[in-house]
């Protein structure tokens, strides 16, 4: 009897991979533009955190804690209007048509598609839905209370979904579903050297718009390299959509 075909598991990083930009950085910029965050205080910290992330010098705890702290002292319900505006005005226009097409291609092939991101769940769950991805693994936020009235403490909780934490969180997520990563035909699309632990854990790593360090690793190991940059027609379509 022929054995059943291996499950095809396709993982997507979000920031600078499917999204032309970084969700955390864009969120801070969005809130500063609205006056929700003090620009004099947050702008230099935001820029420094982005620089350290790209250099690989920031700790996982410091990175996740800084961005989750922007949610402190408000409830899910209180943040909801701004979260929706953030998706519509900032995030959606920065997702190239090629990114949507790639996600859809893997859905059409019958793959189990998962979005895995270091950015927190509250910011990214609308993005996942916009992309048509129902499975999201993200950094979790500590809350008090239940449901939409739950308040954010401003602290992350659990295993943070960054670097080695992405491997741990994926393994835990798969275990609940009685899936073994090593038995899957697994693919990860990512732009960042910070994702090297997960890239080396899957069968098919794909470097998307890679940073310099990941590009060097990809060249050395013969990994595929893909570009999903926004094209001029994407920018025009996105601008039209945002104005409606």
Residues recorded for the chain: 244
Find the Cα–Cα–Cα–Cα dihedral 17, 19, 21, 25, rounded to 10°: -110
What does the buried/exposed string (b/e) look like for 99-127 if buried means 16 or more CB atoms within 10 Å of the residue's CB?
A: bbebbeebeeeebbbbbbbbbbbbbbebb
Which entry of 13, 24, 211, 234 is annotated as an active-site residue?
13
13 is catalytic: yes
Determine contact, residues 194/211, Cβ cutoff 8 Å: no
Q: Please say whether the beta carbons of 226 and 207 come within 8 A.
A: yes
C-alpha–C-alpha distance, residues 74 and 15, integer Å: 25
Task: Provide φ and ψ at 178, rounded to 5°.
Answer: 55, 45
Among 15, 20, 111, 195, the one annotated catalytic = 15
How many whole angstroms separate alpha carbon 162 and alpha carbon 154? 18
Query: C-alpha 164: how far from its chain's center?
Result: 15
- Active centre residues (catalytic): 13, 15
């Amino acid at each position: 009897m022929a054995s059943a075909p291996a499950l095809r598991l396709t993982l997507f990083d979000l920031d600078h991979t499917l999204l032309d930009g970084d969700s955390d950085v864009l969120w801070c910029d969005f809130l500063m533009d609205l006056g929700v965050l003090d620009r004099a205080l947050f702008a230099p910290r935001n820029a420094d955190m982005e620089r350290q992330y790209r250099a690989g010098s920031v700790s996982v705890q410091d990175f996740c804690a800084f961005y989750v702290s922007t949610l402190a002292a408000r409830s899910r319900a209180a943040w909801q209007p701004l979260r929706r505006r953030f998706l519509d005005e900032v995030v959606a226009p920065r997702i190239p048509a090629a990114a949507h097409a790639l996600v859809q291609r893997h859905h059409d092939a019958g793959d189990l598609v998962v979005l895995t991101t270091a950015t927190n769940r509250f910011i990214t769950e609308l993005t996942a839905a916009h992309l048509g991805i129902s499975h999201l693994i993200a950094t979790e936020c500590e809350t008090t209370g239940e449901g939409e009235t739950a308040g954010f403490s401003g602290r992350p909780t659990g295993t943070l979904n960054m670097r080695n934490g992405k491997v741990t969180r994926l393994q835990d997520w798969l275990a609940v579903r009685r899936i073994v990563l090593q038995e899957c035909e697994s693919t990860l699309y990512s732009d960042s050297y910070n994702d090297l632990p997960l890239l080396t854990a899957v069968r098919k790593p794909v470097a998307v718009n890679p940073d310099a360090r990941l590009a060097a690793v990809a060249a050395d190991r013969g990994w595929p390299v893909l570009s999903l940059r926004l094209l001029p027609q994407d920018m025009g379509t996105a601008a039209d959509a945002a104005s409606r």
